[in-house]
């Protein structure tokens, strides 16, 4: 069951509407992460929705914030449905069962991969510029998103970070489905999930009282604000 490697707020289990917004969620999540004995912790946000959560968590922990750009490969007719994901290093993984069940052609999949790679490259340029990632082997990484539904995007991020030299990875999310958290923890050192939920239907958004999509521009402003605070 991996219970010892999964940390949650028991009082929040299976509840909805538990966070005011992503900033509130990040602060609550920080209380769980700070219980871990971490060596040189480094927070890595998955943009765009993970950025405000990660910024609040990094501020509460007084540790640096970076980003790990990963993006879903979505259907042309439904941008909410992802059949794979592309990571910051250009690598990708496909949900082969979903690709088959949807009857997607090789050309359609190849086009989706290239479009998503272009999106990832644009986000890296916008949010990181030409700054290289720090030496991941010298930090305990805390990888943050605003929630875990299928967990596919998070696992693609984890795989890419390991390939980049990560020595230790903790996944930290405000909310997540219990089955997904159990799958993800098999690939990382630990998972911190404040609001663990069972059953279906499951939606990340239902954990928040105030929810809206985070734009790339909003993510950039949040990162610039973090840089400004750290410089002062």
Domains and CATH numbers, the chain: 3-68+135-231 (3.40.50.2020), 72-126 (no CATH)
DSSP class of 213: P
90's tokens: 């250009």
**DSSP code per residue over 128-177:** TTTPPPP-GGGSEEEEE-S-BSS-HHHHHHHHHHHHTT-SEEEEEEEEEE
Per-residue model confidence as pLDDT tens digits over 167-188: 899 999 999 999 999 999 999 9
67's tokens: 């980003």
Q: Cα–Cα distance between 194 and 33 in angstroms, integer?
A: 10
Per-residue model confidence as pLDDT tens digits over 59-84: 999 999 999 999 999 888 887 778 89
Residue 1 has pLDDT above 60, yes or no: no
Q: Cα–Cα distance between 2 and 185 in angstroms, integer?
A: 7
- DSSP-derived pairing of the beta strands 190-197 and 6-7: parallel
What residue spans of 168-215 are helical by DSSP H?
A: 178-184
Residue 192 has pLDDT above 50, yes or no: yes
Measured at the CA of 8, the angle between CA 169 and CA 229, to 5 degrees, comes to: 60
Q: Cα–Cα distance between 75 and 84 in angstroms, integer?
A: 10
User: What is the per-residue pLDDT for 3?
Assistant: 55
Q: Cβ-count burial of 30 within 10 angstroms (0-12 exposed, 13-18 middle, 19+ buried)?
A: buried
Count CB atoms within 10 A of the CB of residue 8: 19
62 touches 156 (CB < 8 A):
no
Q: Cα–Cα distance between 195 and 176 in angstroms, integer?
A: 7
| Mean residue pLDDT across the chain | 92
């Amino acid at each position: 069951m991996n219970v010892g490697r999964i940390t949650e707020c028991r009082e929040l289990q299976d509840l909805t509407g538990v966070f005011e917004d992503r900033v509130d969620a990040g602060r609550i999540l920080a209380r769980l992460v700070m219980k871990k004995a971490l060596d040189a912790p480094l927070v890595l946000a998955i943009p765009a929705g993970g950025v405000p959560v990660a910024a609040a968590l990094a501020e509460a922990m007084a540790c640096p914030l970076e980003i790990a750009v990963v993006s879903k490969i979505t259907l042309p007719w439904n941008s909410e449905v992802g059949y794979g994901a592309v990571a910051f290093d250009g690598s990708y993984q496909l949900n082969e069962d979903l690709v088959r069940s949807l009857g997607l052609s090789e050309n359609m999949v190849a086009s989706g991969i290239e479009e998503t790679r272009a999106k990832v490259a644009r986000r890296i340029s916008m949010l990181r510029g030409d700054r290289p990632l720090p030496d991941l082997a010298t930090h305990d990484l805390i990888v943050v998103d605003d929630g875990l539904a299928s967990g596919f995007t998070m696992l693609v991020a984890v795989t890419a970070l390991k390939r980049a030299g990560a020595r230790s990875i903790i996944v930290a999310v405000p909310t997540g489905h219990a089955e997904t958290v159990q799958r993800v923890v098999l690939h990382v050192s630990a998972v911190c999930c404040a609001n663990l939920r069972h059953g279906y239907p499951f939606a990340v958004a239902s954990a928040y009282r105030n929810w809206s999509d985070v734009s790339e521009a909003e993510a950039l402003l949040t990162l610039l604000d973090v840089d400004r605070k750290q410089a002062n």
